[in-house]
Amino acid sequence: MTDADYKLHSEEMENAFLGCVIMGVRPEDIEEVDESFFLLPRSKEIWRSVVGVISKGHSPDYVTVSNELYENGKLDFVGGNSFLTSLLTDRYSVLYIDQYSTVLKEKRFRRQILDKAKRLAKIALDESNDPMALYEDIDREEISLEHSGNGAVHWKEYLSQVYDQVAERANDPKDVWGIPTYFKDIDFVTGGGQPGEFWLISGPPGNGKSILGDQMSLQSAGGGVIGRFEYGKQKPFVIYSFEMLGMQVARRLQSGVQKIATRKLKTGDLSQDEWFDFISTIEKNQRVPLYICEEGSITLSELRADLKRLKKNNGIVGALIDYVYLMTPSIGGNRPPYEKAEIISTTLKQIAQELGIWIIGIESMTKTGMDKETPEQQDMKGGGEQIHAADVIMFVNKVTRKEARNDSQLGILTDAELANVRKITFGKGRELENDAVTVYLVKQEKWPVFGDYYRG
């Protein structure tokens, strides 16, 4: 560690922040902080113990952090209880913990710049390297400082943005001004997914909410209805599948595109025509900019980093999270389920806004919601903040015979036909003109695909 490194840190701010933590703070108040915020080995060790306390489902304070350090054999290393006690001073106030963390964040950023400068200097001084490597290194190691914002500005700034957007769209008015799902009625109601929006799709088990989310992702990426993609309209998308392996997701989507039973792809029992069609659709699907992550679970920090990478390198416009509740907060993963759901959903909304992408989350439903013909917001699993974070909430339900009797066209369907109809209701729509509307989709019997329900 060089003298320059030490100049780019503040022992006072590290002590102030850690002092506030052991005075007692809520885990969510320090959600965005990680070990890289600290430079001193002593501070890093105390922070590791804070994370350890939270991971066990406890709140960090003087006693719990001291015990964690002792159990890990690090209490003497950090200066013993006497040093921890010295942090409990009236010089530091929990009211200013955000300011302390901001200073630490900026110091970390400056250290990152210094590290990059050292690497670039090494390349520049090594005459055996291709000079173009310098530019490649700059691009590869680009670092951006995340600011919390510039505060309030006169609303004329935003009126100007409204004017520019309306003027641009007036040249080619469309009912769908966002990212199309290519489900006609869903797109008409929502206008498509918008950059910065966070949607939630919920419903009872077996109703097809994951199939719907996967298909929306594929159709957005493919630029058209499944099996009829338009390559000039493609919009890169990513699916984070925490329940299914990547191959299982790909096989299910392949089944829908090819219109072949998933069982046939599992057994390999294909006719000659089906085999030729299989090869043809595989080749076409490989040109669709769809990405899949099959990690069993990732933290919010890992998700943000991966989405930043995909946004920069591949230009993704949207992401599907299947399921939201299987994600893990960066710290404090053992907290109560409702708190975990709130933190995850709120952070997903922040990531969507930060990166300017559309995020769709699949979420489960309470037992009470499963028993309702038309679920409501409170029937989602998770706390109130989860509901508030979402811009759009969609429920996927089967249509009962009782409901069908009140509809002249649904009422004439047989029980077998009605079993494949899905009712899409909107529990929330932050910018929807009418969130009380109901749209219908039809699930294909032989393969995992939804289609629009056309009224004749």
Render 156-192 in DSSP notation, one character per residue: HHHHHHHHHHHHHHHTS--S--SB--S-HHHHHHH-S
Architecture label for domain 184-452: 3-Layer(aba) Sandwich (3.40)
Q: Are 141 and 113 in contact (CB under 8 A)?
A: no
List alpha helices for 223-271, DSSP H. 246-258, 262-267
Which DSSP state fits 400? Answer: P
CA nearest 98: which of 148, 43, 45? 148
| Spatial separation of the C-alpha atoms in residues 321 and 216, rounded to whole Å | 12
Asked if 134 contacts 124 with a C-beta cutoff of 8 angstroms, the reply is: yes
How many Å apart are CA 415 and CA 336, to the nearest integer?
A: 42
**Chain region(s) in the chain for CATH 1.10.860.10:** 3-105
Per-residue pLDDT of the chain (456 residues; tens, 9 = 90+): 555 555 677 888 999 999 989 888 777 778 788 898 999 999 999 999 999 998 888 888 899 999 999 999 999 999 999 999 988 876 777 777 878 888 888 888 888 888 878 877 777 787 776 555 454 445 444 444 444 455 688 888 889 989 988 998 898 888 889 999 999 999 999 999 999 999 999 999 989 999 999 999 999 999 999 878 887 899 999 999 998 999 999 999 999 999 999 999 999 999 999 999 999 999 999 999 999 999 877 888 788 889 999 999 999 999 999 988 888 765 545 566 667 777 788 889 999 999 999 999 999 877 777 777 777 777 777 655 567 889 999 999 999 999 898 888 888 899 999 999 999 999 888 888 777 789 999 998 888 999 998 754
CB 430 within 8 A of CB 196: no
Token digits of residue 28: 């969510």
Domain 3-105 classified CATH 1.10.860.10? yes
**What angle do helix axes 97-125 and 11-24 make, rounded to 10 degrees?**
140
213 vs 217: CA distance, rounded Å = 6
Token pair of 243, please? 């329940």
What pTM was computed for the model?
0.67
**Amino acid 41: pLDDT:** 92
Q: Are 295 and 270 in contact (CB under 8 A)?
A: no
Segments of the chain assigned to CATH 3.40.50.300 = 184-452
Residue the block writes with tokens 């393969």: 447
Report the pLDDT value the prediction gives residue 142, as an integer from 0 to 100. 46
Residue 288 falls in which region: left (phi positive, over 0), alpha (psi -120 to 50) or beta:
beta
What is the rounded distance in angstroms from the CA atom of residue 355 to the CA atom of residue 332?
25
Cis omega (within 30 of 0) for bond into 323: yes
Q: Identity (one letter) of the amino acid at 368?
A: T
Please state, in angstroms and rounded to a whole number, the distance separating the CA atoms of residues 231 and 223. 6
